[in-house]
Structure 1
Amino acid sequence: MIEKTVSNLISGLAALALVSAPIAATAQDAQAGANPVDTGASASDDGGLNLPANVALLGQSDPNDRKPTAKVNGQIITGTDIDQRVALVVAANKGQISPQEMERLRAQVLRNLIDETIEIQAAKSQDISPKPEEIEQTYARVAEQNFKQAPSALDAYLNKVGSSPGSLKRQIEGELAWQNLLQRNVSPFVNVSSDEVNEMLDRLKASKGTEEYRLGEIYMAATPANQAQVQANMQKIMEQLRQGGSFVAYARQYSEASTAAVGGDLGFVRLETLPAPLAAAARQMQPGQLVGPIANSGGYSILYLIDKKQLLMADPRDATLSLKQISLNFPKGTTQEQATQRLKTFTEQVKAIKGCGDADAAAAAMGVDIVSNDNIKVRALPEQLQQIMLNLNIGQTTPPFGSVEDGVRVLMLCGRDDPPSAGTPTFDELRNQLENERVDKRAQRYLRDLRNDAIITYN
């Protein structure tokens, strides 16, 4: 089987998309309870609180001087709990987090832990807590997806980065508890009429062939008083992302949009549904590109183009390939000069192979390794190889890729099954989509109500 390395593993752990997330609400629908970074209030935009333009403080207030621990309805959140959650995000960003951002990160992690605790308590009070075996099964699934190994490998990794299996299992428990709460208290009360679904079907058919963009967004609100500070904060986040920081992790920790819970992922959207500044920026972007900060809807946004496709049209990257991977490994101690000469010979020998039927015998004669895979999607390959593979004819190979340390490889195309034309979504699929959107909006209100009822004290 062609070896496929799991990239940016810890980014997935930090995001923890462990259970199916509802389709996100609109990007600018600010998440209830979210706290802006370095922002202040203004008298003209204070939600009806009628605050004075100049606030005279009558006492000292510096939350960063307070130990970041809390009690939620009597249940303690310790400093260790925070440290172990922060460790996941730090690992996701390769340790490249400034002291100032670390303070904000710890504050956000504490808020996340408070919400998680509230959710677990609410599920327990209604006798719908997730069962221990459900938590263990989900944990094992994360280990399998990320390590292709037993949970002990994930245990070792978490301990190595300063987190713990218990911390991750606690987060799993919180997400499962929240799912149970939504299934009982929110989903049954969401209804979508047949007329609404049919209207959406008609709009989709009329828009067939138009491009859809799968975007990630980090959004922060700004007022005239704090606009410069918010813009500066967003610029710092851009710098961290360009240096390899995890977009998903930053979106979960800093974005004030409701999509923060799903790593900022807006899903596939048509540009006409976006605010004009975001639509204009996205139209010029290519997959993998990052743009921002963009002035937008009373704040600033950072956009990341994850993917794009044509509505209701087949995507060539969904083609299924039959491949052979031919690998040249260099003995330990091989010099660069020796490797260059060996690579030159290898490349010439590969070019002389007469199609896939000749590949196994040729590889044996060359003294190199060869493996086959008859069921791999184009989109499962590294992005740099996807377009190359789509342009190959049967029996042709990619240019060599790799290194002296990891070995050099080529992929030979032995067959391709193109995807069928994409059909219009079914009535039930569209109904489910609309229901999920409404569940997500009601879920935000439900969590806000749970927060308002909670008794929270800080040390």
Structure 2
Amino acid sequence: MKKAVRSAIAGIGAAIIAAPLSSTGALAQAGGSDAFNLPEDVSFIMEQVQEPNQRRATARVNGNIITGTDIDHRLALILSAQNVELAPEDVATLRLQVLRNLIDETLQIQEAAAQDMEVTAEEVNASYERFAVESRGMSVAEMDAYLASVGSSSRSIKRQIQGELAWERLLRRNVAPFVNVSEGEVTDLWERLQESRGTTEYRLGEIFLSANSANNEQVRANAQQIIAQLRQGGSFVAYARQYSEASSAIVGGDLGWIQLEQLQQPQLEAAAAQMTPGQLVGPLEIPGGYSILLMIDQRQIGMADPRDAVLSLKQISYVFEPGTTPAEAERQGAAFIAAVQGMNGCGSADAQAAAVGATTVDNDQITARQLPEALQGVLLQLNVGQVTPPFGDLSDGIRVLMLCGRDDPQETAGPSIPQIMAQLEDERINRRAQRYLRDLRRDAVIEYN
């Protein structure tokens, strides 16, 4: 089975609660209105045209009803995962997006059933139980209770699972077998990658919103709202899953490790070339809509990344007693720092820490990139036995990290030929999946209430 098809079901486990799954969207094609021969001055026959935000968010899709409860439970699930409180108008926009996602899920489930690939209740329940136990460490009853506590239900997640399983089956039978990548294409790309050894590749996240001449300004405003919410602490993965119309939405917008030319959009290439890890830019106007980019990480192709070094660390902490005055905390902190600076390596650190009332914790298998960015550079400059500058505050105490050992990473050869082939297949399956879902929408009979 090709990677793109596998990813459709793999996403069910890890991120349903943190970032609810949304169906893969179709990229709208940019185009004018010439084919419709529209007049410049449009006069509506009716005095009032109902605004989308005023419509009751329920629908009948080819005879299957999406109820207000369905939307409420999915919306509650999404809102529970947000780190920021959304404004009422943002919640209204999100509610409409939830309806669109539920429509897509319904179309996928219906299509699978029509092609004798219906997902059974037993399969859905087994996937739900597996998710609860393996990803959340809960029993099914505990998961049910948690969902109820946030205003959602197990039915909402099971519906997502059913949609994902149905879509995975459809892609596996109707799309993946007809995607071909030649050995020549793969070999050419592999040779180009070898020639680019030592150059930078990027791990990017993208949220794509389709737009056309009729809704361009509204889509741009929506993109700006999303960026504002992300900068206030919103989850990029959650917003990508819920709003992005690119095929990467199913994996939280993660494009994986790529070179800039693979973006195939000059605007995106130019922006990404100037970005640093953690930086967010956009909305960037590209053919067909707007993109929001997040620079997740960067690395040198085929070269060892120092941040992949496996470190052996000892954390030495000093906690202030409740009620300690700032002056007394400053005195105790100074004594702790002096003691730490006088330590003679990791071998005697436990005893020396205990002598001044400090505690120690060891971790012998942590990579530098797993640590906060502020600590990464400091630790990679230390010799064994040295410590970081102290950090912390009066409420949490102060601490240092002592470097007890380091295993430097080995250089890598970059992606293998099978990995390159899988990536190209993945991209082509995703493009065909977008067209497939677009066709399902076009042929559907959808009645709004």
The TM-score, its normalising length taken from structure 1, stands at 0.83
The 1:433–1:230 alpha-carbon spacing in structure 2 relative to 1, beyond 3 Å, is closer
Residue deviations 1:22-60 (CA, integer Å, cap 9, x gap): xx9xxxxxx42779xxxxx9xx71484444444333343
What is the aligned partner in structure 2 of residue 3 from structure 1?
none
Deviation of 1:437 (Å): 1.4
* 3-state SS of 1:399 partner: coil
Amino acid at match of 2:75: V
Q: Are residue 308 (structure 1) and residue 298 (structure 2) matched?
A: yes
Give the aligned residue type for 1:58.
I
- Partner in structure 1 of residue 322 of structure 2: 332
Match of 1:164 among 131, 145, 153: 153
2:131 corresponds to:
138
Q: Please show how residues 352-367 of structure 1 align to structure 2 within 5 Å.
A: 352-367=342-357
Offset at residue 201 of structure 1 (A): 1.0
Within 5 Å, which residues of 2 pair with 1:147-226?
A: 155=144, 157-222=146-211
CA change 1:11–1:188 in 2 (3 A) is closer
- 2:10 equivalent in structure 1: none
Quote the offset at 1:259 in angstroms.
3.2
Q: Which amino acid aligns with 1:433?
A: Q
Q: How does 1:110-149 map to 2 (within 5 A)?
A: 110-125=99-114, 126-129=116-119, 131=123, 132-144=125-137
CA RMSD in angstroms, aligned pairs only: 3.0
Equivalent residue, structure 1, for 2:243 = 254
Local SS of the residue matching 1:137: helix
Amino acid at match of 2:179: V
Post-superposition shift, 1:195?
Answer: 1.4
Q: Distance in 2 between matches of 1:155 and 1:386?
A: 40
Correspondences of 1:256-271 after superposition (within 5 Å): 256-271=245-260
Q: CA deviation at 1:277?
A: 2.7
Mapped partners of 2:417, 2:170: distance in 1: 27
After alignment, is 449-458 or 185-194 more displaced? 449-458
- Distance of 1:233 and 1:454 partners within structure 2: 26
Work out whether residues 138 and 172 of structure 1, in 8 Å CA contact, stay in contact via their aligned partners in 2: no
**Residue 6 (structure 2) aligns with:** none
Q: Is the Cα–Cα contact under 8 Å of residues 139 and 172 in structure 1 kept in the other structure?
A: no
1:13 aligns with 2:17: yes
Q: Which runs of 5+ in 1 are unaligned?
A: 1-9, 25-30, 36-40
> Helix, strand or coil: the match of 1:357?
coil
CA–CA distance in structure 1, aligned partners of residues 311 and 148 of structure 2: 39
Aligned partners of 1:190 and 1:435 also within 8 Å: yes
Deviation of residue 87 (structure 1)? 2.3
The answer on 1:101 being equivalent to 2:90 is yes
Mapped to 1, the partners of 2:82 and 2:392 lie a distance apart of: 24
Q: Provide the rounded CA distance (Å) in 2 between the counterparts of 1:158 and 1:34.
A: 34
Structure 2 distance, partners of 1:58, 1:195, is 59
Structure 1 equivalent of residue 410 of structure 2: 420
1-structure distance, mates of 2:67, 2:396: 43
Q: Does 1:430 align with 2:424?
A: no
Structure 1 counterpart of 2:434, from 427, 444, 451: 444
SS of corresponding position for 1:15: coil
Query: Comparing 86-95 with 343-352, which one deviates more in the overlay?
Result: 86-95
In the alignment, what sits opposite 2:286?
Answer: 296
Partner in structure 2 of residue 410 of structure 1: 400
Residue of structure 1 in register with 2:4 after alignment: none
Q: 1:425 to 1:110 in 2, by over 3 A?
A: same
Select the residue among 23, 26, 36 that pairs with 1:32.
26
Quick check: 1:61 aligned with 2:55? no
Q: CA deviation at 1:102?
A: 1.7
Cα distance in 1 for residues equivalent to 2:360 and 2:104: 51
**2-side partners of 1:153 and 1:414: how far apart?**
41
Equivalents in 1 of 2:157, 2:250: separation in Å? 16
1:45 and 2:32 correspond: yes
Relative to structure 1, the CA distance from residue 402 to residue 183 in structure 2 (aligned partners, 3 Å threshold; closer, same or farther) is: farther
Which letter maps to 2:135?
V
After superposition, the Cα gap between the structure-2 partners of 1:174 and 1:382, relative to the gap in structure 1 and judged at 3 Å, is: farther
Q: SS in structure 1 opposite 2:347?
A: helix
Structure 2 unmatched ranges of 5 or more:
1-13
Does structure 2 conserve the Cα–Cα contact (< 8 Å) formed by 1:217 and 1:302?
A: yes
Q: Match of 2:11?
A: none
Q: Shift in Å at residue 305 of structure 1? A: 1.0
Distance 1:15 1:71 in 2: 26
Is the Cα–Cα contact under 8 Å of residues 93 and 246 in structure 1 kept in the other structure? yes
Q: d(CA) in 2 for partners of 1:453 and 1:277?
A: 34
The structural deviation recorded for 1:17 is: 6.7
- Counterpart Cα distance in 1 of 2:410 and 2:92: 50
Give the Å deviation of 1:156: 5.1
Counterparts of 2:108 and 2:34, CA distance in 1:
27
Check if 1:395 corresponds to 2:385: yes
Mean CA deviation greater in 182-191 or 122-131: 122-131
d(CA) in 2 for partners of 1:167, 1:254: 18
> Would you say the 8 A contact 1:129–1:180 is kept in 2?
no
Q: Provide closer, same or farther for how the CA distance between residues 267 and 79 of structure 1 changes in structure 2, counting only shifts above 3 A.
A: same
The answer to whether the 8 A contact 1:321-1:377 is kept is: yes
- The TM-score, its normalising length taken from structure 2, stands at 0.85
Give aligned pairs, total: 429
Question: CA 1:129–1:207 in structure 2 vs 1: closer, same or farther (change >3 Å)?
Answer: same
Change (3 A) 1:92 1:314: same
